[in-house]
Structure 1
Amino acid sequence: MKTLEPEQFLKQQKSLSAKPLKASIYIAYIAGIAVIFQAYLLAYIIDGLAFKDIKPLQITPYLLALGAVFLFRYLFQLMSDNFALKAASHIQKQLRLSLREKLRKLGPVYIAQKGSAALLSGLTDGIDTISKYYQIYLPAKAMMSVVPLCILVVVFPLDWLSGLIMLITAPLIPVFMILIGKGAEKKNQTQWEKLNRMSNHFLDSIQGLSTLKMFGAVKRETKELEKSSEIYRRETMGVLRIAFLSSVTLEFFSTVSIALVAVIIGFRLMWAEIDFFTGFFILLLAPEFYAPLRKMGTAYHARMESIGAADILCDIDQAKAIEPCDKTIYVPNLSKAVIKFENITCRYDHQSQKRADDIEDKQALSHINITIKPNTHIALIGPSGAGKSTILSLILRFIEPESGEIHIGDVNIKDLDPVQWRHQISWISQNPTLFYGTVMDNIRMGNAAASDADVWSVCKKLKIHDFISSLPKGYGTEIGERGYGISGGQLQRIAIARAFLRDAPIILMDEPTASLDRETEELIQSSIDELSRGKTCITIAHRLQTIQKADQIIYMDHGSIIHNAKHDDLIKQSAEYKALIEYELQDVDMKERSK
């Protein structure tokens, strides 16, 4: 896929609201051209009253016409602004909806890579900022290209010298804008990058406040945030300095150019080379000739801001998402289908589709081959960063492999609709998320059609019904953000109940009992074993009890499979595995003695 630059991305979005945007520009053309008639009528009235001895009553129709032109310009400019606002607002709305849907398709791996705070900032402040591109910059650009040209067409036949001065001085303004813009555009992008980093840093600090307090690092973290804020302030001031400098310089060029026209006309009037009407008419048109060029200075700053803000939005738009398959292929019978990983290689940068100079090559899996038989329990073990979580992300279709294929029975996983496929999977992470709402709402998220009785039944089998009933309002107890109000162990048990309520044929687990005490763990683990019987279970395992019960143990390191066998065989084959088991046995022994 060819990567778009931010401004190309912004231009693409014009099609989302093409009609109002065109209407705004065409109406602005009419309002801009009306200034010629306005200047003509005003020059005629002043010339008639001052030099032609025309009576006031004779001027009345011209005064009325002048008032009508003033009103016409005001109303048409108001209409143009309203259409521009409507176009920008519609693009904002459609862009937010489309990018939100794109993020849903990209999944949690992409969001974790980019940072949720940076993405949120882009979808809120970023989209608000790029609206200026459509509301301010594009209409101003259109006016700059048409109105001065129309004025030159009128001025040249009347006075070629004034027309020539306008023609020579006009290009100085856009040339200066281009020269300034080259540096300012990069500064705007840097400013938005600093804002995104600061947003991620701030969110991490808020979410990790308890950890910071525990380690006495609040003051240190506050200083780091102050440092980030100061860096962002400096970048912002740098951008504003360029904006103010460009505005002052554009005003200077415009004022000098108008003054030059006025001086030339004054001398030529004194020398009787042109009449008063012609000179005054051109003098009235001179500020209007440079007005769109001056306005473009402000609009050009809006363009640079928009390009800076569009960088992360462009990245979201260009990232490769997992799209629903066009074919109608049903999920195979998972009680009989074998899951096969065939020569799978996966890189994290492959998912984000960043520009080549931004890519940090990181291979997560290298030429992986796995066969998972139905209704078996697979344990994935190995050090941190070995690629275990990537295996689960591939099965969940949160990411796509760079090369190789995954087959479910005889069907390539890419040919399955990702939403329908995920309905066949229950997922229990080590750090599950609970949402604001009741305990019942959070458990029923696993199966929206489940009745209260179904929820109670699963909770009783998992031996957590009594614990939930003991809460202030039982299943109706409100849970705060991220499970606020209950302990980590309680949160984990509710998440386990949510997963098993789905009753899916495939269960993916990241050591779901790791945060529980030994006694509760044994109680819950026996219930998990019972509920997962007759299903395909793939677990990222750390506990000896989980590892020993597995039908197949896959030992991974640095994105490769080191060993793939049963517990008894691995003890004999692998010194690393034997050391891991001995360490776990020592840990269990120490905990037993401490009771």
Structure 2
Amino acid sequence: MAFLVAAGMATTILAVVQCCATAAALAQLVSRGGSSAGLGLPLGLVAGAFAGRALVGYAQEAAGHRAALRTIAQLRGRVLDSAADRGQRWLADGKTSSTVTLATEGLDALEPYFVRFLPQLILTCLATPATLAAVVWLDWISAVAILVCLPLIPIFMVLVGKMTQAYSNERLRAMQRLGSQLLDLLAGLSTLKGLGRESAPRKRVKDLGDSYARTTMKTLYVAFLSGAVLEFLATVSTALVAVEVGLRMVGGDLDFFSGLAIIMLTPECFKPLREVGAQFHASADGVAAAENAFDMLENEGETEASRKAEAPGKAASNLPCPDLAVSPVVFDRLSVASPGRATVAPFDLTASIEPGKVTVFRGRSGAGKSTAAAVVLGLVSPTSGSARIGRTPIERISKESLWRQISWVPQRPAILPGTVLENMGCPLGGELERAASVTGFDDVVACLSDGWNTRIGHGGVGLSVGQRQRLALARALVKPRPFVLLDEPSAHLDAASEELVARAVRELRATGHTVLAVAHRSALIEEADAVIDVAARSDVPERSQALEEAEAAESDATSPTGGSQ
């Protein structure tokens, strides 16, 4: 920003030099009856100032764009980090599409704000007074006339700007609504097509698209109208100053050089204000998105502050992760409440995942097996109880430090557009071939048209669901980390493929890795060294009155006033 403002000031100084040199050349030409003698210096100054303005303008644009992209990337990273910290449940609560829209098109619109609007806003406070000082040096009466006309532009700019801002906020909301509807439609398109209802949402999507188009056109209409108003005011103000200067030149109160220089400098006085008004509309969409981003980050700070107020002894999440190769993962009466629901899943889970062993979470659907695994990953925080690695609570461990020791194969693995080999994240060699052989992915590669170089789409389009699962499992086995977490790895596989998963688990155990698997099927459960039954609160039988009395008695025994029993 400092460089952009300095470049803007340099452009202003060069503009003053160019106007004065042009006026000097013309005045000299008129006074000498058209003779070109002695015009070399002023014309050289004009050419130099013109070239200097072009070079400074290029440097200003280039540096501004690069700096803006870095700043937007940083803000986008903070938004994504905030969304990740809030967890998958927050995203699942209707926040995914709005976060996607905000992090992509919304923040991309911030570039005009950083490159043009903000520097022009600062230059209005610097360049306009500097140009006005040059006019004062030439003729103070003309400077007063300019000073009287200047406030008209900011007044109308504020009035029009408030209306434009409102339309920009409405446009962003319309874009988020359209994005949400499209994402929901795409997510359920296979189901709709299977039921023969794929054409039903067409009218709704069309209505949302038309609403977004109307909002966009309203924003453009106000922007063009306000731009015309500002240009009209600047033109009228310049004309008033020109009339005043012309009358005084005719009356002999002002010399030709001063009058001509003032007439050329007057638009330069108004230029920063006009640019602010023009660029405000280009940056309004980005400003609206930035406000949403800052609201999201500030709310995260408030949430963190309230969390610290509730648990003042809890330290920040920046501790290094203990070595998972030798440290157990321990759950102590862990319970996680589902937001907006009465379900607690898992409920009162007490267990230990020993290093170097194969542990399986078992339980009915909805019991909280995947949620318990998400607690291990630091993606979900316990509602009550605790989860720790060794003696360190997982909530206090830096996520980056934790994730560096975990290989995770989720139910829906992340597969990016590109070749199969690019998605494996390593060059073709012995380790990759061994991992593919253990998981049976080598048979999948053999059936592909271009083998490892076969291109696949986003999410693994081009592969079946089972083939995607094998890809993710092979990828986890290439260079497995100390702790391997498998979330339903055989859910989309047949019996023969399920045996390959069991073989991969045996391979991991033989090499000393800790394996935690979420499983329903018996083949994987049979490979486990320990099976942990996970239950939701609705799965737990009602507590008997005798048990409640025993717990109450134990509580009395440990209280300062209670007796023993």
TM-score (norm 2): 0.74
Q: Share of identical aligned residues, percent?
A: 26
Shift of 1:30: 1.8
Which position in structure 1 is the counterpart of 2:56? Answer: 80
1: CA distance, partners of 2:389 / 2:17 = 69
Which position in structure 2 is the counterpart of 1:451? Answer: 431
1: CA distance, partners of 2:341 / 2:12 = 53
2: CA distance, partners of 1:66 / 1:364 = 83
1:372 pairs with 351, 356, 371, which one?
351
Instruction: Report if the CA contact (8 A) 2:489-2:519 is conserved.
Output: no
Give matches, 1:398-413, under 5 Å.
398=379, 406-413=387-394
1:510 pairs with 479, 487, 502, which one?
487
2: CA distance, partners of 1:483 / 1:458 = 21
Q: In the alignment, does 2:149 pair up with 1:169?
A: yes
1: CA distance, partners of 2:345 / 2:148 = 63
* Cα distance change of structure 1 residues 282 and 43 upon mapping to structure 2, 3 Å threshold: farther
1:91 pairs with 67, 71, 88, which one?
67
2: CA distance, partners of 1:35 / 1:147 = 15
- Summarize deviations over 1:294-341 as a string: whole Å, max 9, x none: 23321222332331343465578776899997666641544x624235
Moved more, 310-319 or 410-419: 310-319
Instruction: Report if the CA contact (8 A) 2:361-2:517 is conserved.
Output: yes
Give the match's secondary structure for 1:486: coil
Give the match's secondary structure for 2:412: coil
Which position in structure 1 is the counterpart of 2:168? Answer: 188
2: CA distance, partners of 1:329 / 1:516 = 34
* Cα distance change of structure 1 residues 502 and 380 upon mapping to structure 2, 3 Å threshold: farther
1: CA distance, partners of 2:445 / 2:12 = 70
Which position in structure 2 is the counterpart of 1:198? Answer: 178
Aligned residue pairs: how many?
520
1:219 pairs with 183, 199, 204, which one?
199
**Matched residue type, 1:392:** A
Instruction: Report if the CA contact (8 A) 1:43-1:281 is conserved.
Output: no
Which position in structure 1 is the counterpart of 2:444? Answer: 468
Which position in structure 2 is the counterpart of 1:351? Answer: none
Give matches, 1:226-305, under 5 Å.
226-268=206-248, 274=254, 278-305=258-285
Instruction: Report if the CA contact (8 A) 1:91-1:131 is conserved.
Output: no
Shift of 1:289: 2.6
Which position in structure 2 is the counterpart of 1:27? Answer: 10
Q: In the alignment, does 2:457 pair up with 1:487?
A: no
* Cα distance change of structure 1 residues 169 and 87 upon mapping to structure 2, 3 Å threshold: same
Instruction: Report if the CA contact (8 A) 1:262-1:283 is conserved.
Output: yes
Which position in structure 1 is the counterpart of 2:377? Answer: 396
2: CA distance, partners of 1:364 / 1:159 = 79
1: CA distance, partners of 2:257 / 2:33 = 17
Shift of 1:562: 5.8
**Matched residue type, 1:77:** R
Which position in structure 2 is the counterpart of 1:584? Answer: none
Shift of 1:250: 0.9
**Matched residue type, 1:30:** I
* Cα distance change of structure 1 residues 235 and 42 upon mapping to structure 2, 3 Å threshold: farther
2: CA distance, partners of 1:278 / 1:67 = 17
Q: In the alignment, does 2:398 pair up with 1:421?
A: no
Which position in structure 1 is the counterpart of 2:560? Answer: none
Give the match's secondary structure for 2:534: strand
Instruction: Report if the CA contact (8 A) 1:556-1:562 is conserved.
Output: yes
**Matched residue type, 1:487:** S
- Summarize deviations over 1:55-77 as a string: whole Å, max 9, x none: 444x632x334422332332222
Which position in structure 1 is the counterpart of 2:112? Answer: 132
Shift of 1:389: 3.8
2: CA distance, partners of 1:56 / 1:266 = 22
Moved more, 202-211 or 480-489: 202-211
Instruction: Report if the CA contact (8 A) 2:417-2:456 is conserved.
Output: yes
Which position in structure 1 is the counterpart of 2:43? Answer: 67
Instruction: Report if the CA contact (8 A) 2:347-2:535 is conserved.
Output: no
Give the match's secondary structure for 1:218: coil
List alignment gaps of at least 5 residues for structure 2.
305-314, 548-565
Shift of 1:453: 5.2
| Aligned-residue RMSD, C-alpha | 4.6
Instruction: Report if the CA contact (8 A) 2:361-2:369 is conserved.
Output: no
2: CA distance, partners of 1:440 / 1:289 = 60
2: CA distance, partners of 1:553 / 1:230 = 52
1: CA distance, partners of 2:180 / 2:164 = 24
1: CA distance, partners of 2:75 / 2:249 = 61
**Matched residue type, 2:15:** G
Instruction: Report if the CA contact (8 A) 1:346-1:402 is conserved.
Output: yes
**Matched residue type, 2:164:** A
Shift of 1:521: 7.2
* Cα distance change of structure 1 residues 84 and 44 upon mapping to structure 2, 3 Å threshold: same
**Matched residue type, 1:339:** V
Instruction: Report if the CA contact (8 A) 2:108-2:286 is conserved.
Output: no
Instruction: Report if the CA contact (8 A) 2:338-2:344 is conserved.
Output: yes
Instruction: Report if the CA contact (8 A) 1:378-1:551 is conserved.
Output: yes
- Summarize deviations over 1:352-378 as a string: whole Å, max 9, x none: xxxxxxxxx899979975432124645
**Matched residue type, 1:33:** V
2: CA distance, partners of 1:524 / 1:137 = 60
* Cα distance change of structure 1 residues 405 and 379 upon mapping to structure 2, 3 Å threshold: closer
* Cα distance change of structure 1 residues 32 and 296 upon mapping to structure 2, 3 Å threshold: farther
Instruction: Report if the CA contact (8 A) 2:469-2:489 is conserved.
Output: yes
Which position in structure 2 is the counterpart of 1:587? Answer: none
2: CA distance, partners of 1:450 / 1:204 = 42
Give the match's secondary structure for 1:552: strand
Instruction: Report if the CA contact (8 A) 2:387-2:394 is conserved.
Output: yes
TM-score (norm 1): 0.71
Shift of 1:44: 3.0
Moved more, 313-322 or 218-227: 313-322
1:331 pairs with 317, 323, 331, which one?
323
* Cα distance change of structure 1 residues 347 and 316 upon mapping to structure 2, 3 Å threshold: farther
2: CA distance, partners of 1:456 / 1:158 = 82
Instruction: Report if the CA contact (8 A) 1:510-1:540 is conserved.
Output: yes
Instruction: Report if the CA contact (8 A) 2:16-2:134 is conserved.
Output: no
* Cα distance change of structure 1 residues 338 and 96 upon mapping to structure 2, 3 Å threshold: same
- Summarize deviations over 1:541-561 as a string: whole Å, max 9, x none: 55688789873322125xxx8
1: CA distance, partners of 2:115 / 2:392 = 49
**Matched residue type, 2:7:** S
Shift of 1:163: 2.9
Instruction: Report if the CA contact (8 A) 1:148-1:292 is conserved.
Output: yes
List alignment gaps of at least 5 residues for structure 1.
1-13, 349-360, 574-595
2: CA distance, partners of 1:268 / 1:449 = 87
Give the match's secondary structure for 1:513: coil
* Cα distance change of structure 1 residues 181 and 405 upon mapping to structure 2, 3 Å threshold: farther
Give the match's secondary structure for 1:551: strand
1:340 pairs with 331, 338, 341, which one?
331
